[in-house]
Structure 1
């Protein structure tokens, strides 16, 4: 039977069966294009555009990202050594055991999360990703408001990720300044000023052409690899020369300390797991590049799982070296005038000049991290605005045709991040909520479509190129689901069991307030205009077979399932 006959012979569907029917049709169209894949780069890109059309969207952005560059954007955002520099103080709250074993244990579960996300990304490769999947798998009565909630949550979480990365960058820049001028007193307004300046520079960089930003990911990979190699060589040599000896294995792998009033077990979980959870995060950035990636059903899973795996293994050894080379007095690291424990470790091991040089290199890596996450944020914001999910969507969703870049979405994302970053002025306790803000929002956005895929009877999952199979896929996905739910709960706990102004977890206030305001905005206004993912295809964008199928679906939708597709 020809592929055309297959489509024409599809059974009639009712309005309540429309999403499963769309899944079957998407699968047929995808397999048809795979079988008839044209040879050459242009043919591959045309096939990717046709698969995107089967999901209801026209190709507006250029597919400049190779598999390596898709990997690069996630790996760049993780930015191992710069990220560890920003989060090492959290892990040290549970001592070397928290730093080393917390990282190792977390990495196992992050691989499971990456596998679950990769299966979804391979099945439905679109920049909207999480909110699109949530709409696709949710029950009919929940589709629209749930996809809106996930779209807002994911957008704010990614903005929180940019804030936390750039806040760490500001701290590292000021640590370099303190190392050079020991009489410098670092203040909260000073931190925000540096933070804002870095956001503006990252915005200018990311507004350049799509092709340039894609090449930037390769540069970021090289910078991060160079930093890691230099770290593995210079820090142990410096420790041997300046300190004289290393900490032994019993200290590195077995010394647990508790600098909180929580019980030891909970202290390990809350502070030992968080550095890896935050560092090896934002791998959904690969998903948001689906409409700029070549062969996204394959490239995105490789980018997600590859970046998690590399950062898990290499980060584990970085943490071992840190614990081997640092002075065992952890309280002294917390009280360092540099404000950065890793900067103090470099100062002890390498001396002042080399410590300044090393921290300066780390700031370069951290700056590129921020630029990469801004790219991912802008694509999520652009995709959500394309479906009219944001205020001023008609303005934000416009793509600069000359540069093939959503410049307005980039600027909008930067403005939101600058507003959230005002927490830097409030103080370090509120500013530290930036780290949990991104984790809590991202994990909620990640886990929702995973749960819907398995618990909603009408959810029709059609495997893409990446799929573990009917046995291992549910096993791995449920492991990742339970871990994500645990992390969501853990992110809401305060740093101390005696809650005061200085120990309160402001993540609950930030996320809770944002969710309440967003849903009030939806129910009182936006529900009149937002109906979930909608097609922006014109008849000329479709091949005849796809057009015939979508016209048939429009006839079904016009009977009351959803607003008709504008095709």
Structure 2
């Protein structure tokens, strides 16, 4: 839906206050776009950089999704596919960063479409873009919590091979992760910016906490990882197999994912990298900070992901055994940790680092998805928009969208239970 700019709307009323005392540059930028400043700007450069990096969690995602590329493409397919996707990602988000500097609003894509499309089609295209982005962010919130819950179960299996995951247990983990994300975004919302800055530190230290023991303790392969292509999916040729495995590199660079739930991973991949855009109205000096945060997060995360990927492949060991471990562990990288460091508790600790970072990533995902819903409601793109556009007192908590998100997440959790059961039934002979 085309952003509302009715002369009687509060947004346009804000544009008449451009020269009022107390309006800073960020407020003037919003007023120029027909939006009234409402949200408090708590984020600076480092906090929003941490926000972007922890939503993307590239090196963590690379470990989670690499199995698909190892099966279809092999070690060489993982490496060269990653490089191709990384270059493409930088090119794509260079354009989006330019748009973010021109119009730093929480609506992001649908607002840009309204700006750039022709008058005749702008409203329709903006409406469609808004709904696609809105639906994607709601789905990615569910997906993030579900996938991290299943990863936690895999860590438990690693520690206790007699443990049999149950769908209802997945559901409880799912709810617990979401409850934590809702708590940080509501009750502790004033600490959100500081929380994201702290998680950036954990994101970097966690990288070295896994990379160093893995490289130091594991047996090393040779340079054949750069030239060994594998066609394990039974495709007609290796070229097609490489293309089939390529999306896994996309998932690791643009969002978290899981190889047994590739459709869910696509939703995360599509919307994850624009998280900073939807926080624009809470960022100081947004026209400069948002594009810089987007590009630096992609370059930084891409570099960390590439380093982890190369180290992981050199420490991979028996490829067939790694792929077969998916049947018992669900996440083969845990098997690589276990055989590499020679310690099950040590491998579990390394796995828990990724679980913790994944849980923290849901905080940013929920924050971005709630701002997207609020912005779309402000432009009257959703039913009951008057209800969803409300904010509460000086803390500027977005309360209506959290209500609907909780309802959607509870509903989707039952779908997650069925998905978990279906995944396990599919593994039966």
TM-score by length of 2: 0.85
Alignment partner, residue 322 of structure 1: 312
Task: State the partner residue of 1:399.
Answer: 391
2:381 match: secondary structure: coil
The separation in 2 between residues aligned to 1:413 and 1:123, in whole angstroms, is: 30
CA distance in 2, matches of 1:302, 1:127: 17
* Structure-2 residue corresponding to 1:168: 147
* 1:210 to partner: Cα distance: 4.0
Deviations, residues 169-220 of structure 1 (Å, cap 9, x unaligned): 1122101211222101123443233223312221122113543111111011
- The match for 2:121 among 138, 142, 145 is 142
Q: Show the 5 A alignment for 1:82-101.
A: 82-93=60-71, 94-101=73-80
74, 77, 80: which one aligns with 2:55: 77
When residues 96 and 347 of structure 1 are mapped into structure 2, their CA distance, relative to the original with a 3 A threshold, is same
8 Å Cα contact 1:333-1:344 kept in structure 2: no
How many Å separate the matches in 1 of 2:285 and 2:105?
A: 12
Q: CA separation of 1:329/1:164 partners in 2, compared to 1, >3 Å: closer, same or farther?
A: same
Number of residue pairs matched by the alignment: 394
Provide the residue aligned with 1:308 in structure 2. Answer: 298
Distance 1:224 1:323 in 2: 21
State the 1:105 CA deviation. Answer: 1.1
Are the equivalent residues in 2 in contact too, given 1:95–1:257 (CA < 8 A)?
yes
User: Secondary structure of the residue that 1:291 maps to in structure 2?
Assistant: helix
Shift of 1:430: 7.2
Larger Cα Rg: Structure 1 or Structure 2? 1
Tell me the distance in 2 between the aligned counterparts of 1:262 and 1:187.
34
C-alpha spacing 1:418/1:344, structure 2 compared with 1 (3 Å): farther
Partner of 1:368: 360
Q: CA deviation at 1:502?
A: 6.3
Q: Is the 8 A contact 1:129 1:288 kept in 2?
A: yes
| Whole-angstrom CA distance in 1 between matches of 2:383 and 2:121 | 21
Residue 156 of structure 2 is matched in structure 1 by 177
Please tell me whether the aligned partners of residues 127 and 290 of structure 1 are also in contact (alpha carbons under 8 angstroms): yes
| CA distance in 2: counterparts of 1:173 and 1:211, whole angstroms | 29
- Structure 1, gaps ≥5 residues long: 1-18, 20-25, 240-244, 433-500, 504-567
| Paired residues of 1:127 and 1:379 also in contact (CA < 8 A) | yes
The range that moved more, 136-145 or 54-63, is: 136-145
Q: Secondary structure at the match of 2:118?
A: coil
SS of the residue aligned with 1:262?
coil
- Match for residue 247 of structure 1? 221
State the match for 2:208 in structure 1: 229
Is 1:196 aligned with 2:175?
Answer: yes
Partner of 1:408: 400
Structure 1 position 63 matched with structure 2 position 36: no
Asked whether the 8 Å contact 2:58–2:302 carries over to 1, the reply is no
Q: What displacement does 1:311 show? A: 1.4
Q: Distance in 2 between matches of 1:205 and 1:124?
A: 28
**Which residue does the alignment assign to 1:271?**
245
Residue number in structure 1 paired with 2:269:
none
Matching of residues 352-367 of structure 1 within 5 Å: 352-367=344-359
> In the alignment, what sits opposite 1:261?
234
Q: Is residue 254 of structure 2 the alignment partner of residue 280 of structure 1?
A: yes
2:427 is equivalent to residue 427 of structure 1: no
Q: Distance in 1 between matches of 2:45 and 2:179?
A: 29
TM-superposed CA distance for 1:354, in Å, is: 0.5
Match of 2:106 among 106, 113, 127: 127
Does the 8 Å CA contact 1:83/1:366 hold for their aligned counterparts? no
State the partner residue of 2:288. Answer: 298
> Are positions 1:339 and 2:330 aligned together?
yes
Q: Which runs of 5+ in 2 are unaligned?
A: 6-11, 256-271
TM-score by length of structure 1 reads 0.65
Residues 1:315 and 1:194: Cα distance change in structure 2 (over 3 Å): same
Runs of 4 or more consecutive aligned structure 1 residues displaced over 6 Å after TM superposition: 429-432
Mapped contact 2:185–2:192 kept (Cα < 8 A): yes
Distance in structure 1 (CA, Å) of the matches to 2:354 and 2:222: 27
The alignment partner of 1:116 has SS state of helix
Distance 2:74 2:415 in 1: 28
Q: Is the 8 A contact 1:135 1:147 kept in 2?
A: yes
Tell me how far apart the structure 2 counterparts of residues 109 and 353 of structure 1 sit (CA, whole Å): 38
Flag the 1:48–1:161 CA change in 2: closer, same or farther, 3 A. Answer: same
Whether contact under 8 Å (2:59, 2:304) holds in the other structure is no
Question: Aligned equivalents of 1:354 and 1:136: distance in 2?
Answer: 53
The 8 Å contact of residues 88 and 99 in structure 1, kept in 2 or not, is answered as: yes
